Structure 1
Amino acid sequence: METPLVLGFVTTPLFGNSRSYVDPHTYEDPNQAIREFAREIDANYITIEAIIGGGEFGDVCRGRLKIPPNFVQDIDVAIKTLKPGSSEKARCDFLTEASIMGQFDHPNVIYLQGVVTRSNPVMIITEYMENGSLDTFLRVNDGKFQTLQLIAMLRGIASGMSYLSDMNYVHRDLAARNVLVNSQLICKIADFGLSREIENASDAYTTRGGKIPVRWTAPEAIAFRKFTSASDVWSYGVVLWEVMSYGERPYWNWSNQDVIKSIEKGYRLPAPMDCPEALYQLMLDCWQKQRTHRPTFSSIVSTLDNLARQPQALLTTRNSPENDGSHILEGQRGHNIFISTDLWLENIKMSRYSQHFKEANLVTAQQISRLTAQHLSDMGITLVGHQKKILHQARQLDTII
């Protein structure tokens, strides 16, 4: 029998990088895949400190893991636990993620420390990512980063995906919610469970093959379940859009059917506010209808490296707001016509500030068109990204008064 917790388990990969990904579902006995790809850790070396979230199978916790050889030192870890009383199938599904993760060793892919399978609760132990999921992190820090910092995050995601692609692994659910961020702002690909629960049920589109996160999924994957590295590149384009818009929801409150029909007709998401032209062009390249026309992840890494080395290329921005005519469906035209303050704020997805505008007695288009950043700050609207968005749309009002 294999002995738990081998010496040096924290940093030593199980095998070299020349090996291709092996699907754990090809094993007749799923436990064999777990034994082959994940290290068993003695539960006595783990201390759970706090519950930080919930998953499909149980709690997600922060904790400490004692490390060899003397087990005096310990490190922060994230711990996923399996609900007590789960079925054997649930146990295997839960541990499948560890069987997948244990095959990877890359600075931009979440690192598996090991599993606890010989005592209850069953656990998956990974490195701890202090800043949590990328989408939430961006929303909390709206407008706070320089473009080069955002490019560094995007470069990390592309590098991790290039590594996975080289190993012939297709993620199928690349999205900002499935990327984690550590204290150094390094982004790492996470969430490798094939039976993942899609957080927002309205994001799921059910087909005979299962649920698909429509807003992030390539057209050929939705229509024919054709998942490849090229469909992951499409998803990366949406992640790029999420990052540059500081965690805005792709396609806003559109229905899944509207998203599918619009993309089929050639619609693509507009450039986020203040997005450099070169980055928006990269998004459009990722969203080429023909998957063979999309860039590879390795070429995306090169593109981002070149942009980081030539920051002057980032000075040209695509000044197309969300209501730019070239990106708007027929039903959306007239998006910026002013009827009332409440309706205008709703149209620009800023209705959360309706009360702020009421209290400031801003009731006409002319008043709104003269707003400044200082006015917004005085009103209590302090997020830089939201200020920019409101002011940009207010300037558009000025042209139609």
Structure 2
Amino acid sequence: MPEDLAAVAHRAREASRLLATATRADKDRVLHAMADALLTAADRVLAANAEDVAAARADGTAEHLLDRLRLDEGRVAAMADGLRRVASLPDPVGEVVRGSRLPNGLELRQLRVPFGIVGVIYEARPNVTTDAAGICLKAGSAVLLRGSASALRSNTAVVGLLRDALTSAGLPADLVALVPGEGRDGAAALMRARGLVDVLVPRGGAGLIRSVVESSTVPVIETGVGNCHVYVDAAADLDTALAIVANAKVQRTSVCNAAESLLVHEAVAEDFVPRVVAMLHEAGVTVHGDERFAAHEGVVPATEEDWGTEYLSLDIAARVVSDLDAAIDHVRHWSTGHSEAIVTESRRAADRFVAEVDAAAVLVNASTRFVDGGELGFGAEIGISTQKLHARGPMGLPEMTTTKYVVSGHGHTRS
């Protein structure tokens, strides 16, 4: 392990011990200071980001990845607003998860406590830098950040501002740090930093997540890719379905909660398929469809690969299914376990879909784009977990803590 990563981790550990004694007011003050610093120095962040975007474009980076990388005044303002929302939320540290008095008189409490040091490995999206820093700080942990090389200038500028804000608010700058090292060496060292880093969160594409899960000796909270489905049921209101499909696919294509697959019950296919194809074509979406969809002009015949693809672009796979069972079977086979939606006016169909679809989030008559920490009232999120241990779905403040048991007695001894 590079000596400089060990040094950074040791400083973060010392800083995290000071943070453990900070009050909610202390933490909220620094979060507001961070937000103020971002807005005050937005020009510096945008200039650094413009260099990153220009370099990425020159390297032939795909447009949907450029969109993830790109910042503008609105996105910087949203980063600052995310920090303020986190500040407005209750402090999870010290929350009593459960407590009881045992028959022998012992008092038992399970409390939320910080992890200590959280490592985050992520691609592009500089907004992850502030989301991760804000959530980890409020949850009482230091954070070591390893962004992609494509966003290095942006992340360096943002982290510099966050560290200055920490110092100005009276907390150690080392609570937030970039992982040193060039290329993949820094990420590899972070994955091997067991004993220095308490938990690791990967956030990015399937390749990054698989690499971290398979290579890390540090415990990993696995976030997932999103092959998200919208199923339009026989009992769907078709105007509602059209609006949900449009929002889920088009509102922002480069994010993991965008819809990538559309399923339509054959009972409404004759009416709905022409309408949805026309709407998607008008929005610039390429439809990769089965035989029923491919009968319409402009639809590309779907291949087997399309059903499992996370496009992150203006593309969608589409299929007509015979019934609810066929829709559930398709989702079970191809879902990545992220977010799945049903559009229906049938309570029975909705209840079956919710019960039988295995995903971190299931939506009824709502766009998959709502599966987001900010939209669900968590302030911000550090990622969306598709695993089943510890945390599942958008990971906000409670998910970025662990617990300890406190057992209080009066000279109790065990017989």
TM-score by length of 1: 0.25
TM-score by length of 2: 0.24
The structure with the largest strand share of the pair is 2
Looking at both structures, which has the greater relative contact order when contacts are Cα pairs under 8 Å and sequence separation is at least 6?
A: 2
